[in-house]
């Protein structure tokens, strides 16, 4: 009688053990399937999220570079060269003055000693109409220009790199400038594998290379290396 009860108990324990193993295996398979599902979702959603963040941040950076371009063009118009540091550029906006002029064609008669007659001379007359503040003309009451040096990415305190010079181009001395920031800085907290791919982009629809660049130190250019889609976004 005792042995029969013991056999029943042992059999019951064996079945419980088998059930526990089965449940454990089922739980493991469920966990494994969830893991693989998450991996598949990440592989699909990861690039989508990366591109969304990339485009948003690129748009912010490019808008800042456009402000720098506006300021640099004004600096050259007034001073004849570009600023090679942001302190000078901000100071120029704060204190610079545009001279408002009007050009008009005119003519007059002048006696020509060779032909011994009065001859018509055509000239361009430049009239000074007044003066206006660079700051008021370019930015009005907006003080965003004071932060031109800062890369506008939350969580980053990085600065744009700026340089300027006078280069020889076909015998002419031409002022040039360049402002740039690495994509590694703009996308510092994004997937490293996707970022590595982005640094190698060569495409008409993308920002080519590993940096976002305005201007050039070797060519006479004040354009950026971004596609026109980013210009269209600001105009909308």
- Domain membership of residue 33 (yes or no) is no
Q: Does 85 share its domain with 102?
A: no
Same domain for 164 and 216, yes or no, is yes
Torsion angle in degrees (nearest 10) through CA of 222, 233, 191, 38: -170
Residues 186 and 83 placed together within one structural domain of the fold: yes
Nearest-angstrom CA–CA distance, 225 and 204: 10
In terms of domains, do 71 and 182 share one?
Answer: yes
Decide if 34 is inside a domain.
Answer: no
Q: Tokens standing for 198?
A: 């982005």
Taking a C-beta distance cutoff of 8 angstroms, is the pair 85, 162 a contact? yes
pLDDT value, residue 219: 95
Whether residues 165 and 79 share a domain: the answer is yes
Strand runs (DSSP E) across the chain, as ranges? 97-112, 117-133, 161-169, 172-182, 211-215
pLDDT for the residue numbered 31: 60
Identify whether residues 116 and 190 lie together within a single domain: no
pLDDT at 30: 57
Residue ranges of the chain whose pLDDT lies below 50: 2, 38, 41, 235-236
Same domain as 182, residue 222? yes
Range of the domain at 179: 51-94+140-235
- Do 67 and 179 lie in one domain? The reply is yes
Q: What is the pLDDT of residue 2?
A: 47
Domain boundary among 75, 106, 131: 131
- Listed residue (151, 133, 24) closest to 86, CA to CA: 151
In the prediction, which pLDDT does 57 show?
A: 97
Query: Residues 161, 109: one domain?
Result: no
Number of Cα atoms under 13 Å in the Cβ half of residue 41: 6
Does any domain span residue 7? no
Instruction: Look at residue 130 in the predicted model and tell me its pLDDT.
Output: 72
Query: Cα-flanking dihedrals φ and ψ of residue 142, to 5°?
Result: -75, 130
Number of compact structural domains in the chain:
2
């Amino acid at each position: 009688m005792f042995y029969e009860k013991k056999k029943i108990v042992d059999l019951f324990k064996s079945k419980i053990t088998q059930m526990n193993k089965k449940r454990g295996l089922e739980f493991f398979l469920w966990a494994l399937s969830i893991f693989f599902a998450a991996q598949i979702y990440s592989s699909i959603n990861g690039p989508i999220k990366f591109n969304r963040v990339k485009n948003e941040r690129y748009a912010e950076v490019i808008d800042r570079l456009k402000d720098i371009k506006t300021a640099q063009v004004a600096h050259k118009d007034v001073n004849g060269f570009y600023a090679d540091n942001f302190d000078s550029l901000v100071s120029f906006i704060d204190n610079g003055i545009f001279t408002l002029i009007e050009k008009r064609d005119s003519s007059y008669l002048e006696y020509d000693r060779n032909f011994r007659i009065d001859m018509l001379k055509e000239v361009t007359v430049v009239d000074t109409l007044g003066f206006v503040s660079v700051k008021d003309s370019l930015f009005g009451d907006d003080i965003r220009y004071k932060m031109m040096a800062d890369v506008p990415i939350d969580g980053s305190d990085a600065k744009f790199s700026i340089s300027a010079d006078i280069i020889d181009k076909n015998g002419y001395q031409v002022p040039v400038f360049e402002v740039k920031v690495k994509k590694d800085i703009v996308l510092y907290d994004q997937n490293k594998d996707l970022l590595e791919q982005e640094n190698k982009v060569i495409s008409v629809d993308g920002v080519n290379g590993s940096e976002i660049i305005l201007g050039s130190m070797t060519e006479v250019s004040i354009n950026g290396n971004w596609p026109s889609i980013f210009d269209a976004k600001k105009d909308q």
